[in-house]
Amino acid sequence: MTTLFDTTTVPAVNVTAGTGPLVIGLDIALVTSGVAGPGWANHFRTTGLAGEDRLQHIVDTAAGYYRNADLVLIEGAAYSMAKQVGHDEMSAARWMIRCDLRRRRIPFAVVTPDSRTIYATGRARWKDEETGKKLTPRQVKGKVRDEAARRYGIVFDGTARFDQADAYVLMAMGMDWLGYSLAEVPKTHSRALKGVAWPTQTVAVAR
Amino acid sequence: MTTLFDTTTVPAVNVTAGTGPLVIGLDIALVTSGVAGPGWANHFRTTGLAGEDRLQHIVDTAAGYYRNADLVLIEGAAYSMAKQVGHDEMSAARWMIRCDLRRRRIPFAVVTPDSRTIYATGRARWKDEETGKKLTPRQVKGKVRDEAARRYGIVFDGTARFDQADAYVLMAMGMDWLGYSLAEVPKTHSRALKGVAWPTQTVAVAR
DNA sequence: CTGCATTAACTACTGC
DNA sequence: GCAGTAGTATTCGGTC
DNA sequence: GACCGAATCCAAGTAG
DNA sequence: CTACTTGGTAATGCAG
């Protein structure tokens, strides 16, 4: 676990770790994936693996986290990813997890990258305030991480900081949707919740 | 089973049904998939299903066929399919089957559409002999089916005839590679075998 | 119901 | 408020 | 070992 | 023989 509570600046958030429903956020990728639950964020890698081995490892590891979850949020594919390196293997990773979740009867929602960014930062496409040029994906990721860190008082550190922050935001969205929001978020941000394909089946926790 | 031996024109082929190794050919798609083994071809649909249910059904049904196989051949994705309807779901279907095969320790090979076409017809890209225009994918599929039907004496009929023929060709390639070729094929055709990513692990049947 | 030809995503943001 | 338009992510390899 | 930047598939056919 | 160029699929909707 590379992420800890930020003990220097304790924000006004409802720390529900262990008390509320167990919601898991997943930011799945081929080499570095992020996972988060209420109050914590983590990540795992697939160094040295490839092909079927790599996929299997991703599913197994992720499953270890969401095994007892009440709700899982997984980031959906971005259209721009098509025709690019490893895109089909990644589609597979995500669908395999979805199938596994279905088999386990764990309710899950697929969140688009846009929705995630909006929930975290209030806007999907950012431009530099000075130059007016659109921010690189990298810079946007940074924004997401910063906002999440500030709002939830979590320190996202290390190489996988973006992936962990992503996962955390996803998880926070799920908590919010269930009525256990981890922090107050402006309407500009929370509007992203209605863009999500929420599960129709009843979630174990009353909303 | 919609396909039968053609009893009117019995060709000079080695009918090894039940005697040689069990090789299975798979032509996986989202709605209609083809499956074939030595001497037979079949297909299955996923009508009424979608998403995780559909994927699960594809994997389960395919597994029912290759459960006891010594070798499985599966058609690989075409690059041109990227960015098109359902491409990610299809990638997932194929990868899920590959993972399942790995789990079951069943050796498998991934065959590109080109290799399959070459093994069946001797050439990957066909032009009309008169007009000189390239044949439509449909026409090429027809050629594959016709050649396969003639060479192996199998009747591929019904809506799924192309898918079944594809699967049969894949299976035939596997049998050939194992030394149990189902029919004599010209060098122009068999050259396709070296373009295939054959499994490195030992196949249960001696070559 | 079968066969062939066509066309291929989604949404936030911007400007009217 | 509505219609049109454009944006979209990750891996791998080399570098520090 | 982490960070930054660039490219992003594969092979059959065909021409030289 | 080598180097370069190009091609590649499948679900859906309508017609027969």
Q: Which of A48-62, A78-92, A144-158, A161-175 has the lowest mean pLDDT?
A: A78-92
A88 touches chain B (CB under 8 A): yes
Q: Residue B78 gets which letter from DSSP?
A: P
pLDDT score of B202: 72
Q: Give the per-residue pLDDT at A46.
A: 94
ipTM over 0.90: no
pLDDT the model gives residue B205: 66
**pLDDT of amino acid B2:** 43
Q: How far is CA A55 from CA A75, A92, B64, B102, in A?
A: 16, 8, 22, 11
Query: Which among A79, A83, A102 has CB closest to B52?
Result: A102
Reported as a single tens digit per residue, the pLDDT across A13-45 is 444 455 789 999 999 999 999 999 999 999 999
Confidence of residue A56 (pLDDT cuts 50, 70, 90): very high
The whole-angstrom separation of Cα B33 and Cα B45 is 6
Q: Locate A84 and state its tokens.
A: 């690019």
Task: Report the pLDDT value the prediction gives residue B159, as an integer from 0 to 100.
Answer: 92
- The tokens for A69 are 């979850």
Percent of chain A with pLDDT over 70: 89
Confidence at residue B207, expressed as pLDDT on a 0 to 100 scale: 53
**B24 CA from D3 C1′ (Å):** 53
Residue A207 pLDDT class (50, 70, 90 cuts):
low
- The residue type found at A68 is N
A172 — pLDDT class (breaks 50, 70, 90)? very high
**pTM confidence score:** 0.89
CA distance A135 to A146: 15
Summarised one tens digit per residue, pLDDT across range A149-162 is 999 999 999 999 99
Q: Considering only CA atoms, which residue is closest to the C1' of nucleotide D9?
A: A81
Residue A3: name the closest of A33, A36, A41 by CA.
Answer: A41
Q: What is the pLDDT of residue B7?
A: 38
Question: Residue B83 and residue B71: Cα distance in Å, rounded?
Answer: 31
- The predicted pLDDT at position B183 comes to 95
Element spanning B33, H or E: strand B32-37
Amino acid identity, residue A159?
Answer: T
Please tell me the predicted confidence (pLDDT) of residue A85.
Answer: 87
Which tokens belong to A27?
């930011």
All residue ranges of chain B with pLDDT < 50 are 1-16
- Residue A206: per-residue pLDDT: 52
B146 alpha-carbon distance from chain centroid: 14
Calculate the dihedral angle through the C-alpha atoms of B81, B129, B111, B147, rounding to the nearest 10 degrees.
Answer: 130
**Per-residue confidence (pLDDT) for residue B1, from 0 to 100:** 46
| B118 CB less than 7 Å from any atom of strand E | yes
